Amino acid sequence: MFDLILKFLRTPGQVLLVQGPPGSGKTTFALEILNSLEETHKIYASSRVAPSRLRQQFPWIDEVIDTMSGRTARASWIDELHDLRRVEPDTIFNQVLRLKHSKERAVLVVDSWEGAIRNTNDEGRKMLESAVLSELDESKVSVVIVVEDSRKAGDLGYLVDGIITLDQSELDGRRVRTIAMNKLRGFSVPTKRGIFSLDKARFTILPNGLRQPGINANPKPLEPVPNPAGAFSLGSRGMDQMLGGSIPRGSFLLVDVDSSVSPVEIRSILNMVRANFINQKGPCVIVPTAAYSSDTVAESLSKYVGWEAIDERVRILEYNQSLAPKKWRLVMKSNLSDDVKTFAHAWDELAKISPHRMLDINVDKAVQVYGRDELSVPGLTELGANMRDTEGLNIAIASTDSKLRDQWLSVVDYHLKIKNADGSLVIYGVKPFTPLYGVDLNFDKGYPVLNLMQIV
């Protein structure tokens, strides 16, 4: 989305209106535009923030700006910085005319429009509108107008070529920032909404969906994030940090997955966690989702751990008894009493490799097979205690409410939620309570990599 906005402004004569409530990120957005446009004369005119305060609030400006310090800039992205609070309206008018008459490719940011016309009468406002909005094509100038209150913008919405709306709301008590493309004349807009963050005083739009080249055409063995002493990594340093740095051995983790999240995204996240555990010699038992067979799970995971590791250290439950036998396939009978014994035997066999085993169970699949009321038989409680005592890693994935989910929730040490919000994957902790994070899930290294960005 941001690249499209830059392409729009690189076309001379475009006028972009940026609107949103106080604190929504309009100034940061405008500064990010200037920072990203190369080989363009840039002017930032502010009626809201003094130049000295801009440098305090946006430390990264100091690396390139020299207009306040007198130093020679390495890459001056603000060629001119004006404080509209200290100039008269006719001065602003003359500055705009001078810029247009120079015939130099330029981008002018007016932040804000209300401040620029604060001390003008109707005639002065119309003159300024004419100066900013007319004959831009010939002058090679594009303009970004920041509006503090869209209700007072008058006819600007009809006169400009593009409109961007920034907003903020809450998701389970956590801040969400959204950007909407209301209008971008002459450009096809495939994605009209997205989530962004102002982390580190930078405007960053989150990736829209899973960035996966085809079907991961060049898979590679996953390079694990090392397990700390007495703890486990989930395979993502961002997720580890979100949960306090690492997951102590013997922990129980519940991940609630919203129906808006695709099975491919969840499988990719789980494969990252599984492969990180397996590639550090850890045994793993998987109860897969109903969306994938044991063959599909094994095939996708083998790309990151290899078939030798699958045969040696992985057991995947399968309820279709007609499939060909595999060393890694754990065929179940859909009878809970028998299946608990089969599972317990396989679990004990894997203990010969390492007592620190991983259980990855899809709760919805278990409920689908055994029913909502059958999953409280004697033996499950003892099995759960054994899993904690042997200091493994126990992960449950759930998309619907059930007694089994509630049972798991009553004993968990960590509780996460994953959702799709405005086209972007987000994650946050319920236990412990964490801020909202945007998820960048990609295969740039040939295996699933998950990076997080806090929404601030």
As a whole number, the mean pLDDT across the chain is 84
Q: Please state the rounded mean pLDDT for residues 37-58.
A: 76
DSSP 251: E
Residue 182 has pLDDT above 50, yes or no: yes
Q: 295 exposed, middle or buried (CB, 10 Å; 0-12, 13-18, 19+)?
A: middle
Question: Which helix (H) or strand (E) is 288 found in, with range?
Answer: none
Using alpha carbons, select from 447, 420, 453, 21 the residue that is nearest to residue 223. 447
Q: 306 exposed, middle or buried (CB, 10 Å; 0-12, 13-18, 19+)?
A: middle
Q: Measured over all CA atoms, what is the biggest interatomic distance in the chain, rounded to whole angstroms?
A: 87
pLDDT at 91: 59
Q: Which residues sit opposite 180 in a β-bridge?
A: 165, 193
pLDDT at 398: 95
Higher pLDDT among residues 218 and 353, named by residue:
353
pLDDT at 380: 52
| 3-class secondary structure, 19 | strand
Q: Could you tell me the pLDDT band of residue 277, with boundaries at 50, 70 and 90?
A: very high
Burial 12-34 (b: 16+ CB within 10 A, else e): ebbbbbbbbeeebbbbbbbbbbb
List helix spans (H) across 279-361. 294-305, 307-313, 336-350
| Token pair for 152 | 């007072």
Q: 348 exposed, middle or buried (CB, 10 Å; 0-12, 13-18, 19+)?
A: exposed
Residue 385 has pLDDT above 90, yes or no: no
E strand map for 6-79? 15-19, 41-46
| Token pair for 352 | 């010969």
Q: Could you tell me the pLDDT band of residue 447, with boundaries at 50, 70 and 90?
A: very high
Residue 127 has pLDDT above 50, yes or no: yes
Q: How far apart are CA 287 and CA 290, in angstroms?
A: 9
pLDDT at 71: 36
pLDDT at 149: 74
Q: How far apart are CA 101 and CA 284, in angstroms?
A: 70
| Token pair for 94 | 């003359």
Q: Please state the rounded mean pLDDT for residues 125-144.
A: 76
pLDDT at 69: 36
Residue 51 has pLDDT above 80, yes or no: no
Q: How many percent of the chain have pLDDT more than 90?
A: 51
Note the pLDDT tens digit of each residue in 279-309: 999 999 999 988 889 999 999 999 999 999 9
